[in-house]
Amino acid sequence: MTYLINYLKRILLLLFIYSVSRFFFFINNSSNFSIDSSSDVSIFSLFFESLRFDFSILLYINSIVLILLLFPSNLHFKRWYPKLIDYIFYLINIPFIFLNNIDIEFFQFNNKRITYDFVDFILLGNDGLQILPGYIMQYWPIVLLTLLQIILLTKLKPYNSKKVFFTFRSLSKSTLIFLFSISLFIVGARGGLQLKPIKVINAGELTSPVYSSLILNTPFCFLHSFNNTQLASYNYFDANVISEHYNTKHSFDTKKFSNKNVVIIIMESLSKEFVGFYNNTNLTPFLDSLMGHSLVFNNAFSNGLRSIEALPAITASIPTFSNTPFITSVYAQNNFNSLASILSEKGYSTSFFHGGTRGTMGFYGFTKRAGFSEYYGLEEYGNKNDYDGTWGIYDEPFFDFFANKLKKEQKPFFSTFFSLSAHPPYSIPEKYNDVFEDGDLAIHRLIRYSDHSLKTFFDKVKDEEWFNNTIFVITADHTSPKSNNPNYKNKLGRYSIPMLFYSPSKDLLGENNVITQHIDIMPSILDYLGYKNSFFSFGESVFKKNSWAIHFNKDKYCFISDKSILYNFQEEYTNFSNWKLNNQITVDSLDLIKLKSIKQVYSNSMIKNSLLIK
């Protein structure tokens, strides 16, 4: 065990070095992290949470050292082998110490920790090499700190093969040591025993996402962005040209703010083709009846095909225009506003409900970063008897749980509910085995059950005192890949979803044919409430917008307008005259300008971390 103790001593020293760097990072960027007596967090709690991210990435970085130590070979007794391990240890750790310390100052330029796109900055055009000498001279205290840390690291006692390594004569002892070491590595590298390994989005879960950049370290952000898709920077138009066609700064000169409660219900895999209001099916009788008393959007589209893409689009108006979802991308540490953060400033209590395990799809980390004050999932529900065996709590009991929580919610409130039962393997509670009949598709039975669950929720809350002072938005996260309606077996039908705004006060009624999408929900709600301050949104209010929607999948953009459909792959643009994607026509110039403007604004806003109106 001596060699493991020696290894852990080195990891502990590196933890100390990273903590010292974090202290200077905090001092140099203190204006970004307001911590005072009125704050809910302390510098101690932030540094304590940061240990999990430091320990995780240090185990990853030093995994090769652990492998060399555990490798059963007589090489351990060669004089050069321990020296080789030492040299490898220095070779892999010193560059990351440099990188971590660069961010002490560089953070001020882009307001986020360095990610893999920094390589392009260094290598392309020699920008990094040109500024390096000036950086060393101007920021000599950081250089001095780095040199002192490296000297401290090199003062470690070398590995001693005679004292450190075991002989492997005892198979049982060797096996126990190996299993202990591997177990320690796996748990530590994953950042704990939670469902999924920690990511950038998980920073701030224990304290506050406002301090995520302080909790994180640069090697963690850099290595976790290594395989993520980097957005290309576009420069099609000047800013004045773009502002004529696309604007992400929104404000509404409207009535007094209404303080209505807001409830968003996101139904899992509820394709538009399943909804009877649109297609004369019998799968959604309750939703069909509710739509008769709502403002219904006939041409609504999802911005993606995955639940992980839907949540940021719906609650923060952030679509995913990359093969990597926003929640797990290198841009997850960007600053952004959401309905939760904006309405919190207006005195709203905020909550999110999803019956899955806490780590699923990064929802917990995202909601914390988005400003939701409360999160309720499988763990908070606390009754495994209602567990479906795969995804989480069945829809009906979790809707009931949702209704009970809303009764106690401080008013006004904003709450989002994300259902989950309409997932393969399409499990249904046993008591309903003979109640909901099968359909042409396996999912049809679950759609009936989900619609029933939605009905039980409304039946339970319709007499609550807060009900009439609430706006409900109901939509799907995405469509189901299964379809038996030929009208939806095309590339647009794959994104066609229901969307309705229901107000018990009956001020939102009828049908609206504007082309809309997930990212329009946030600005639409703020417009309806009468929010007057400026905010950032990639979408537009349905009450004021032009007809358009956009989605991205496998490197292809699809822009939908009243005129046609515009497909874009790389710099090839193909236009179609109708929604069946035939009859190719000449590319419409205004649609082309709009699509290029969206691409340019989206990519550059993400890259520059400019998703807020200052």
Structure tokens at 417: 């509910």
Residue whose C-alpha is closest to residue 471's, from 529, 511, 419, 520: 529
Which region holds residue 111: left if phi is over 0, alpha if psi is between -120 and 50, else beta?
left
Q: Please indicate whether residue 564 or residue 19 has the higher confidence score (pLDDT).
A: 19
Q: What angle do CA 528, 534, 536 make, to 5 degrees?
A: 90
Of 118-122, 160-164, 343-347, 507-511, least confident by mean pLDDT is: 160-164
Number of C-beta neighbours around residue 234 at 10 A: 15
The SS3 assignment for 449 reads helix
Residue extent(s) of CATH 3.40.720.10 domains in the chain? 239-607
What pLDDT, on the 0 to 100 scale, is given for residue 549? 97
Whether the CB-CB separation of 350 and 413 falls below 8 Å is answered with yes
Whether the CB-CB separation of 202 and 191 falls below 8 Å is answered with yes
Of 127-141, 273-287, 398-412, 593-607, least confident by mean pLDDT is: 127-141
Whether the CB-CB separation of 593 and 516 falls below 8 Å is answered with no
Whether the CB-CB separation of 248 and 535 falls below 8 Å is answered with no
Contacts of 408 by beta carbon, 8 Å cutoff, 6+ apart: none
What pLDDT, on the 0 to 100 scale, is given for residue 165? 45
Give 470's DSSP letter. Answer: E
pTM, full prediction: 0.81
What backbone phi and psi angles, to 5 degrees, belong to 252? Answer: -125, 120
Residue whose C-alpha is closest to residue 262's, from 370, 350, 341: 350
Helix intervals (H) in 299-371: 307-316, 339-345, 363-370
Residue whose C-alpha is closest to residue 205's, from 31, 373, 35, 430: 373
What pLDDT, on the 0 to 100 scale, is given for residue 183? 80
Whether the CB-CB separation of 152 and 14 falls below 8 Å is answered with no
Residue whose C-alpha is closest to residue 321's, from 483, 136, 550, 82: 550
What pLDDT, on the 0 to 100 scale, is given for residue 177? 66
Query: Using 50, 70 and 90 to split pLDDT, how confident is the model at 614?
Result: confident
Structure tokens at 411: 């008013």
Whether the CB-CB separation of 197 and 191 falls below 8 Å is answered with yes
Residue 580 has pLDDT above 60, yes or no: no
Structure tokens at 268: 């899992």
In Å, what is the CA distance from 399 to each residue of 74, 405, 434?
62, 10, 21
Whether the CB-CB separation of 275 and 480 falls below 8 Å is answered with no
For 308-332, how does the pLDDT look when each residue is reduced to its tens digit (9 = 90+)? 999 999 999 999 999 888 998 889 8
User: For residue 27, what is the enclosing H or E element?
Assistant: helix 2-28
Upstream peptide bond of 425 is cis (omega within 30 degrees of 0): yes
Query: Using 50, 70 and 90 to split pLDDT, how confident is the model at 517?
Result: very high
82-91 CB contacts, 8 Å cutoff, 24+ apart = 82/158, 82/159, 82/160, 82/161, 82/164, 83/158, 85/159, 86/158, 86/159, 88/64, 89/10, 89/62, 89/65, 90/153, 90/154
Q: Give the span between the Cα atoms of 102 and 142, in whole angstroms.
A: 8
Q: Is 496 exposed, middle or buried (0-12, 13-18, 19+ CB in 10 A)?
A: buried
List the beta strands (DSSP E) in 314-379.
349-354, 374-376
Query: Using 50, 70 and 90 to split pLDDT, how confident is the model at 122?
Result: low
For 174-231, how does the pLDDT look when each residue is reduced to its tens digit (9 = 90+)? 667 667 777 877 888 888 877 778 888 888 888 877 788 899 999 998 888 776 667 8
**Parallel, antiparallel or unpaired: strands 349-354 and 496-497:** unpaired
Q: Output b/e per residue, 106-131; b: 16+ Cβ within 10 A.
A: bbeebbbbbbbbbeeeeeeeeebeee
What pLDDT, on the 0 to 100 scale, is given for residue 107? 82
Structure tokens at 323: 């093969």
What value does the mean pLDDT take over residues 332-359?
95
Q: Is 491 exposed, middle or buried (0-12, 13-18, 19+ CB in 10 A)?
A: middle
What pLDDT, on the 0 to 100 scale, is given for residue 42? 82
What pLDDT, on the 0 to 100 scale, is given for residue 453? 98
What pLDDT, on the 0 to 100 scale, is given for residue 125? 43
What pLDDT, on the 0 to 100 scale, is given for residue 121? 52
Q: Give the span between the Cα atoms of 58 and 62, in whole angstroms.
A: 6
For 229-251, how does the pLDDT look when each residue is reduced to its tens digit (9 = 90+)? 678 899 999 999 899 999 999 99
**Parallel, antiparallel or unpaired: strands 535-536 and 349-354:** unpaired
Contacts of 303 by beta carbon, 8 Å cutoff, 6+ apart: 309, 310, 313, 319, 320, 517, 518, 519, 549, 550, 551, 552
Mean pLDDT, rounded, of the chain: 88
Query: Using 50, 70 and 90 to split pLDDT, how confident is the model at 281?
Result: very high
Residues forming beta bridges with residue 560, ordered by sequence position: 549, 565
What pLDDT, on the 0 to 100 scale, is given for residue 58? 94
Q: Would you list the DSSP string of 513-570?
A: EEEEEGGGHHHHHHHHHT--S-EE-SS--TTT--SEEEEEETTEEEEEESS-EEEEET
Residue whose C-alpha is closest to residue 209's, from 30, 332, 31: 332
Of 30-39, 435-444, 525-534, 584-593, least confident by mean pLDDT is: 30-39
What backbone phi and psi angles, to 5 degrees, belong to 505? Answer: -75, 0
Q: Which CATH superfamily is domain 239-607 in?
A: Alkaline Phosphatase, subunit A (3.40.720.10)
What is the C-alpha end-to-end distance of the chain, expressed in Å?
Answer: 55
What backbone phi and psi angles, to 5 degrees, belong to 543? Answer: -85, -10
Structure tokens at 161: 């093969």
Contacts of 528 by beta carbon, 8 Å cutoff, 6+ apart: 258, 471, 501, 508, 543
